[in-house]
Structure formats: C-alpha cells, structure tokens
Amino acid sequence: MDNRIQAVRDEKSNRIIGRLMKDVDFFQGIKEVCRLFSVQAAQFQCIGSLQYATYVQLDQQSDGSLVYSEKVKTDTPVELLSGTGFVGLDMEEELEVHFHGMFVDCNKNLNGGHFLDGENPVAVTVEFLLLPLNNVRMQREVDEIWGIPVFQFR
C-alpha cells in the first residue's frame, strides 16, 4: 500500500479507519484501501482537505428533466465539512467510488456536489471511516427509467 495511506481494521466491528495524506487522489486512495482489505461493497464517511474539488451538481432543464452540470473545479483548496459515499463495482466489475460532499473554500464559500474520480487530490489529510458490507453486491447497471448506470443492490 502507498505509504501516504494509513488504514486499520477493527476486527470486532469490521470497520476500517484511516487517512489519506498529501497528494493522494481521494477516490484512488479509498479504492486502494478497499483492495487491501478485499472490500467490494461499502459505505464511508470522511472529513479533510483537498487541494481543489472537482464535482458536478444536479440541474433541471426547462422541460423538467434532470441533468448534471458541467464539471466545476474550485480555484482554491477546500475543507470537506461533510461527505458520504459508497464503494461498489462498475459495469466492468472494477471498484468504483460514488461520493457526495459539502465543503468550504478559502474564500469562505460553502458548496458541494457529486465529486469526480481522479480529480480531487488531498491537501493535508482526509480521514475516513469505511463500513464494509458483507454478503452484498453493489454494481452499476443501466437504470430502466433514466438510462444511466446506477448502483443496483443484491
């Protein structure tokens, strides 16, 4: 495991707690921890700081349909105030992180949204609690209503 990642499992509760250090990509770090502990389905929460946040937000078009905004990237570091996510499998059965978070930037602006994979490097630290789900399969499949891949639970 990358020496900029610390993680330990509490055997009694099966929870994994740890932190990601400077320059680790947030999503890649969570996936590395999951691989280390053979986790394929989990919920997690975290706090910490990012060099910048890259995310999208939900928009509603004039006809009422829902879409995601264009990608937004902050121009300052951010402090994650609250964040929760899931780890499951994508359509090719690779680990995937789905994370929503709220943050404050260096201009004291509050914002948040659906964060994007590979585009959120840690500034100082991100501390997390990972709750593995046993005997659960979470995998993206195309949703019948929206036509987009979303987690299905089995």
The mean pLDDT of the chain is: 96
Of 23-32, 62-71, 107-116, 129-138, least confident by mean pLDDT is 62-71
Q: What's the average model confidence in pLDDT over 136-148?
A: 90
The reported pLDDT for the residue numbered 124 is: 98
With a cut of 80, say whether residue 152 has pLDDT above it.
yes
The reported pLDDT for the residue numbered 36 is: 97
At the second CATH level, the architecture of 5-153 is 2-Layer Sandwich (3.30)
User: Which position has the token pair 């359509």?
Assistant: 91
Which sequence spans correspond to the domains of the chain?
5-153
Q: Is the pTM of this model over 0.85?
A: yes
**pLDDT-based confidence at residue 146 (cuts at 50, 70, 90):** confident
Residue 84, classed as helix, strand or coil, is strand
The reported pLDDT for the residue numbered 2 is: 85
More confident of the two residues 2 and 100: 100
With a cut of 90, say whether residue 65 has pLDDT above it.
no
The reported pLDDT for the residue numbered 66 is: 86
CA gap 22, 18 in Å, rounded: 14
Asked if 95 and 89 touch (Cβ cutoff 8 Å), the reply is: yes
Element (H, E) at 102: strand 95-105
**pLDDT-based confidence at residue 30 (cuts at 50, 70, 90):** very high
Environment class of 121 (CB within 10 Å of its CB; exposed 0-12, middle 13-18, buried 19+)? buried
With a cut of 90, say whether residue 148 has pLDDT above it.
no
Quote the Cα angle for 13-17-23, to 5°.
160
